[in-house]
Amino acid sequence: MSTSTAAQRREQAKVAYDAYLANCPVRRVLDRVSDKWVILLLNALADGPRRYAELRRIVAGVSEKMLTQTLRSLERDGLVTRTVTASVPARVDYALTDLGMSLLPVMRALKAWAEAHIAEIDAARADYDRAQP
Partner DNA sequence: CAGTATCCCTCATGATACTG
Partner DNA sequence: CAGTATCATGAGGGATACTG
- DSSP state for residue 50 in the 8-state scheme: E
**Rounded to 5°, angle at Cα 43 from 38 and 44:** 100
Task: Give, as ranges, the residues between 13 and 52 that touch its own copies (CB under 8 A).
Answer: 13-18, 20-21, 25-34, 36, 39
User: Is there a contact between 36 and 66 (Cβ–Cβ < 8 Å)?
Assistant: yes
Reduced to 3 states, what is the DSSP secondary structure of residue 91? strand
The site string for DNA over 80-109 (x = CB under 7 A, - otherwise) reads --x------xxxx-----------------
Could you tell which of its own copies, DNA, none binds residue 106, using a CB distance below 5 to 8 A set by kind?
its own copies
Smallest distance from the beta carbon of 114 to DNA, in angstroms?
A: 19
Closest CB to its own copies among residues 1, 129: 129
Pairing of strands 50-51, 80-85: unpaired
99 binds its own copies (CB under 8 A): yes
**Rounded to 5°, angle at Cα 59 from 47 and 64:** 120
Neighbour order of strands in the sheet with 80-85? 50-51, 91-96, 80-85
Smallest distance from the beta carbon of 120 to its own copies, in angstroms?
A: 5
Which residues in this chain contact its own copies in the complex, by CB under 8 A?
Answer: 13-18, 20-21, 25-34, 36, 39, 59-62, 75-79, 99, 102-103, 106-107, 109-111, 113-115, 117-118, 120-121, 123-125, 127-129
